[in-house]
Amino acid sequence: MKITFHGHSCVQLQTSKHSFIYDPFLTGNPVAKQAAADVKVDVVLLTHGHNDHVGDAEAIAKQNDALIVAPNELADYMGWQGCRVHPMHIGGSYTFDFGKVKLTPALHGSGYAVPESKQIIYMGMPSGILLSVDGLTIYHAGDTALFSDMKLIGELNKIDLAFLPIGDNFTMGPEDALLAAQWLGAKKVIPVHYNTFPLLAQDGATFAQALAAVNIEGIILQPGESYEL
């Protein structure tokens, strides 16, 4: 499996048969190297409805005829925009032709901001996403605080790789993310949601060192870089 980090929380996975993208915030992302128009995927996975996670989901889904998998209210909204969608909700799972998806809790918000009209559109509950494909289990925590049920997620799933936010301020910081990684029992961790904006400045290398001290492999990717799992 090829994993490409596009900056912020946007990650692309390429298997032998399918390509997935999480939270495709590319246009307006100051660190992204990839243009939304050049993304080729089969599935768009959305954790929640904030602008910096919904991002280019509509454009990418339409240009690829890709399926959007998202929490129910967010999926409904994307469906109203003309996208192919599969709605889910926290605790629910579904087996697709490409693999299995299960939504987990996340402690965060989920509203799409429309600055022109000064409105916030409610997008349902935020989530994390467990993706089981090609014999691997990938966990994208979405934007979240540390929460104790991460222990349960780790007990119920053998997590090969976890994407965890470390930017602090809006999500977990590095200290809480380190504890999350241990509770999840993740074999490998790629930090996300940091260094996109000055408010989210963190040292990924220091976080990786802290992971190594508890026998977890931390993989630090710069935007545009890839890793083979």
CA nearest to 134, candidates 9, 228, 40, 39:
228
The answer to whether residue 229 sits within a structural domain is no
CATH of the domain at 147: 3.60.15.10
Average pLDDT of the residues in 186-211: 98
User: What pLDDT is recorded for position 11?
Assistant: 98
Boundaries of domain holding 147: 2-224
Number of domains composing the chain: 1
Instruction: Give the pair of three-digit tokens for residue 99.
Output: 């693999």
The answer to whether residue 55 sits within a structural domain is yes
pLDDT digits (tens, 9 = 90+) for 147-185: 999 999 999 999 999 999 999 999 999 999 999 999 999
pLDDT digits (tens, 9 = 90+) for 43-84: 999 999 999 999 999 999 999 999 999 999 999 999 999 999
CA 35 to chain centre: 18
Q: In whole angstroms, what is the distance from residue 14 CA to residue 229 CA?
A: 10
Determine whether 91 is exposed, middle or buried from the number of CB atoms within 10 Å of its CB (0-12, 13-18, 19+): exposed
What size, in residues, is the chain? 229
Between vectors from CA 29 to CA 88 and to CA 127, what angle results, nearest 5°?
20
8 Å CB contact between 227 and 14: no
pLDDT digits (tens, 9 = 90+) for 77-136: 999 999 999 999 999 999 999 999 999 999 999 999 999 999 999 999 999 999 999 999
Residue 39: how many other CB atoms lie within 10 Å: 21
CA 193 to chain centre: 9
Number of alpha carbons in the 13 Å side-chain half-sphere of residue 47: 31
